[in-house]
Amino acid sequence: MRTAVIVFPGSNCDRDAQVALHAAFGAPPAMVWHRETDLPPLDLIVLPGGFSYGDYLRSGAMAAQSPVLRALREQAERGVLVLGICNGFQVLTEAGLLPGVLMRNAGLKFVCRDVGLVVENTESPFTRGYARGQAVTIPVAHHDGNYYADDATLDRLEGEGRVAFRYAPHDNPNGSARDIAGILNERGNVLGMMPHPERAVDKLHCGVDGQAVFTGLVEALAA
């Protein structure tokens, strides 16, 4: 299975994603520089966390215009799996691959802590490793995680089962609409999520609740 992590100037969770993918897939992902205009055939592309282009202008806005995003968009349209974590989620919304926007946290401060999540959709390749309604703990670390979309879009996301993760009741760290922590695209092959599953894959982390994202992907791609 061929996996890749896109590296933008300012990405800083690229190595963390690399480690998690390597452990789950048994082989290291390709690390792809943002200036690449072509991508090799891939099964899974990860957009990692960080501050691409310094988050100047808006989080993810400049990365969404980078050369590699054109190639990524083509692959996504062909059904290749794309996982955007944190800044990666912001890039996906800015690129229009996912609906809605990620605004400044309601508390206006950067927040780094473990949060409780509820897995809402277990049909997707990203979440099949979980049980429906499963409560998990995964860290967040962001300044702009306040997910917003208009009611019609939110209703549609919910109606189509595209809310993959929700913050547990009373544990929403950023004020996101309907406690949304992660969403899927219409086709179900693109997931954006604010929490960092790659920071919860090791017994020395806060726990290993993030591991099922990666092991689920391994199973999905093997199936």
Partner 1 sequence: MTALAATLDITPELVAEHGLSADEYALILEIMGREPNITELGVFSAMWSEHCSYKSSKVWLKTLPTEGPRVICGPGENAGVVDIGDGLAAVFKIESHNHPSFIEPYQGAATGVGGILRDVFTMGARPIANLNALRFGAPDHEKTRHLVSGVVAGIGGYGNCIGVPTVAGETEFHPAYNGNILVNAMTVGIADANRIFYSAAGGPGNPVVYVGSKTGRDGIHGATMASAEFDDDSDEKRPTVQVGDPFTEKLLLEACLELMATDAIVGIQDMGAAGLTSSGVEMASKGGVGVELDLDRVPMREAGMTPYELMLSESQERMLMVLKPGHEDTARAIFEKWELDFAVIGRVTDTGRLVLKFHGETVGDIEVAPLVANAPEYERPWEPTPKAPVIDAADIAAPGDPMAALKTMLGGAHLCSRRWIWEQYDHMVMADTVQRPGGDAAVVRLHGSSRGLAVTTDATPRYCLADPVEGGRQAVAEAWRNLTAVGATPLAITNNLNFGNPEKPRIMGQLAGCVTGMGEACRALAFPVVSGNVSLYNETSGEAILPTPVVGGLGLIADLERTVGVAIPGEGLDLVLVGETAGWMGSSLYLREVAGREEGAPPPVDLAAEKRNGDFVRALIEAGRVAACHDLSDGGLLVAAAEMALAGNIGAEISGPPAGLPLPGWLFGEDQARYLIACADGASVAADAAKAGVPAAIVGRTGGNTLTAAGSHTISVGELRRCHEGWLPSYMARP
CB 43: neighbour CB atoms within 10 A? 18
Q: With contacts defined by CB under 8 A, name the span among 15-23, 24-32, 67-75, 153-161 that binds partner 1.
A: 15-23
Q: Which residues are paired to 103 by β-bridges?
A: 146
Q: How far is the CB of 177 from partner 1 (least distance, A)?
A: 22
Q: How far is the CB of 7 from partner 1 (least distance, A)?
A: 10
Q: With contacts defined by CB under 8 A, name the span among 24-32, 122-130, 139-147, 163-171 that binds partner 1.
A: 139-147
CA distances from 211 to 23, 37, 200 (A): 10, 31, 7
Q: Report the catalytic residues.
A: 86, 196, 198
30 torsion bin: left (phi>0), alpha (psi -120 to 50), beta (else): beta
Q: Within 13 Å, how many C-alpha atoms sit on residue 205's CB side?
A: 19
Identify which of residues 51 and 167 has a Cβ nearer to partner 1 in the complex: 51
CA distances from 59 to 25, 53, 121, 127 (A): 30, 9, 27, 25
Identify which of residues 61 and 111 has a Cβ nearer to partner 1 in the complex: 111
Among 69, 85, 98, 143, binds partner 1 (CB under 8 A): 143
Asked whether 154 and 173 are in contact (CB, 8 A), the reply is no
Specify the amino acid at residue 190: V
- Segment 193-212, which members bind partner 1 (CB under 8 A)? 196, 198-199, 201-202, 204-205
By CB under 8 A, tell whether 54 contacts partner 1: yes
By CB under 8 A, tell whether 19 contacts partner 1: yes
Rule CB under 8 A: which residues touch partner 1? 9-10, 12-13, 15-16, 19-20, 49-51, 53-56, 109-113, 139, 141, 143, 196, 198-199, 201-202, 204-205
